Amino acid sequence: MKIFVLAAFGMSLALGVFSSFRPTEKSAGQKPNIILIVADDLGYGDVGFNGQTKIKTPNLDRLAAEGMNFRQQYAGTSVCGPSRAALLTGIHTAHATVRELSEWSLNGKPADLIPADVTVAEELRRAGYKTGIIGKWGLDEGGTTGNALAQGFDSFYGFRTHREAHHYYPEYIWQNNEKVLLPENDCAKKIGTYSNDSFASQALTFIQEHTKEPFFLYLPFTLPHNELTVPDDSKRAYLNLGWPKRPMQVAHYHHDLDGNLAYAGMVSRLDRYVGQLMAELKKQDLDENTLVIFTSDNGPGFDNGFFDSNGPFRGGKLQLYEGGIRVPFVARWPGKIKAGSVSGHPCAFWDFLPTACEVAGIKPTANIDGISYLPELLGKSKKQKKHDYLYWEINEREGPVQAVVMGPWKGIRFYEKPFELYNLHDDTAETTNLADKHPNLVAKIKTLMNETRTENPEFPLTKRKALY
């Protein structure tokens, strides 16, 4: 792959208008390409197709209009590292190698993937796919076994650790195992190359270089995660709208002065990247032979209510209420997925690996928690297998916390606090705790939480503070 370090990323495709078209000889007979786009801290309600009215997301809305919108898609958990680990390995946080960020492990050991973990990239490479990751990896905190190139990816461009991804004008970006210095960048002054512009440019190049072979492109942008900053051209559409200003304090994060303006601009810039990618697929005659999935790693971490980032749900990032784990999710595959379709199928990040494997015509090699949702994508709901339950845990701030969704019921167990039980069919916002009215159901869910979990010495369900 070529190294793109641009003084200013040329938005030659502007808003990236894209459309469906007839299959071509170039894509005929080739296994479907798979592009997985993951936003960072984007809430369920931050996109137009889920009801957002203040922030404009025309390309994402078109993606939904031409594909399937999942209304009950869950992240791996409500913080980045373990959520992404579940996405890549098909294993949820009851059994995962990575269950927290490193600073929340018991002894502060790096929370990395290990050689025994089998990622979706390893599976797809076995099926003949070229694999690449561009953006935030965040699973190589120790610089050893978690390296993306050791976990099935042929190429890598981006941030190895989650802390490297905190700034948008970084001092360096990794190209495979080489640290590419960006001397023209100044994080505090916000001068140089905006990192996600480079990610988008690299993604276009990846597509251009893999037109004759099936590919899997994992594209985890860092927008709209803190810090809240974006080039001025992405703010212009939101100037002079009478929005309340949200003054930001500069510390570890070098925020722009107005948080509301910056946040909206960041989401819109992410939307622009998606439009560019879709236009490139059309240009390369790959559109109809490519499954594109868009989602977010967890619930919103910024909104104070102005944008309704969590939509109709309660809570956000670092919480296991629906707002922290239910995320936007759209899948588009012309000719395969019915345009404008909506699914209520409850699924989660650990279902992506078996889905990608089924698309590629192989079976997962590891023992996983996920179930392929390909039948649902193809409109074969009667053949779609469902989970008996879905499980999460997290130990940051309010933790340890466990949650289980089982049919319409959701149980949440906080450390040394009363159990919470909600009927999501009747009470999506989780406002009425029904635990006292259903003691037998509470007992069943508690037993399930206990029996499902595999102990891990670095991630016990004990009360603790971050080590650094």
Q: How far apart are CA 58 and CA 49, in angstroms?
A: 9
Residues in the chain: 468
CA angle, corner 70, sides to 268 and 19, nearest 5?
55
* CATH class, range 33-387: alpha beta
Q: What is the pLDDT of residues 17-58, one digit of tens each?
A: 333 333 333 444 689 999 999 999 999 999 999 999 999 999
Q: In angstroms, rounded to a whole number, what is the distance separating the alpha carbons of residues 164 and 132?
A: 19
Contact 354, 366 (CB under 8 A): no
Q: Can you tell me the distance from the alpha carbon of 265 to that of 224, in angstroms, rounded to the nearest whole number?
A: 9
Distance CA 358, CA 354 (A): 6
On the question of pLDDT at 90 being above 50, the answer is yes
Give me the residue spans of the domains in the chain. 33-387
| pLDDT tens-digit readout, 314-367 | 999 999 999 999 999 999 999 999 999 999 999 999 999 999 999 999 999 999
**Is the backbone peptide bond immediately before 220 cis, with ω within 30 degrees of 0?**
no
Q: What does the alpha-carbon distance between residue 91 and residue 85 come to, in Å, rounded to a whole number?
A: 8
Residue 283 corresponds to which tokens in the numbers above?
């240009």
Q: Tell me how far CA of residue 79 lies from CA of 297, 354, 373, 384, 390, in angstroms.
A: 7, 22, 23, 28, 17
Q: Where are the beta strands (DSSP E) in 271-326?
A: 290-296
What are the tens digits of pLDDT across the range 274-301?
A: 999 999 999 999 999 999 999 999 999 9
Provide the whole-model pTM: 0.93
Give the pLDDT score at 132: 98
* Rounded Cα gap, residues 261 and 230, in angstroms: 9
The pLDDT > 90 percentage for the chain reads: 90
Predicted confidence band at 174 (pLDDT cuts at 50, 70, 90)? very high
Question: Cα 238 vs. chain centroid, distance in angstroms?
Answer: 25
